[in-house]
Amino acid sequence: MKLTYGLNYIKNRLKGMPSDKTEYIIERLGDISGLTIHNSLEEALEQLEKEYPLEYNGKGEIYRETPDPEDDRILIWEVLPSGHKKVVWHFSGWHWDSEEFYNLEQGKLPSDTRSLYHIALDDGYIKCENES
């Protein structure tokens, strides 16, 4: 269930405001923008799967809509009740420094085997339906 809080609440949580629960905030940067807040990492990833859906091209090939692999960045922040936060999932286009998240690889969506970044580099190609 997507939480319905105002933008000021979400921004204040990212600034360290305490709360009574852990929340997950999706921050979109680059050519995309926006903040959404969720109860769990799973719910946040479900939201991204809705924003970047799978598509079938009629030739048996599956593609995913993707953010721009050059300019866009998507961060999922885990914000603890204390207000402390860390990035737990990211998509970082090549204009962003993905190494700033020590030991955190480019993020995968739950139904994908490759990172969203690598899918974006491949123009959204997922697979041909007859591939295993």
Give 131's pLDDT tier (boundaries 50, 70, 90): low
Burial environment of residue 13 by CB neighbours within 10 A (0 to 12, 13 to 18, 19 or more): buried
List C-alpha distances in Å: 6 to 9, 22, 35, 89, 98.
5, 17, 10, 23, 29
d(Cα 76, Cα 74) in Å, to the nearest integer?
7
List C-alpha distances in Å: 107 to 54, 130, 132.
16, 26, 22
Q: Tens digit of pLDDT for each residue in 100-122?
A: 888 899 999 999 999 999 999 99
Max avg pLDDT among 23-27, 68-72, 93-97: 23-27
Q: Using alpha carbons only, how large is the chain's radius of gyration in Å?
A: 16
The letter for the amino acid at 75 is: L
- The pTM score is 0.90
* In the chain, where the domains are located: 7-128
pLDDT at residue 35 greater than cutoff 60: yes
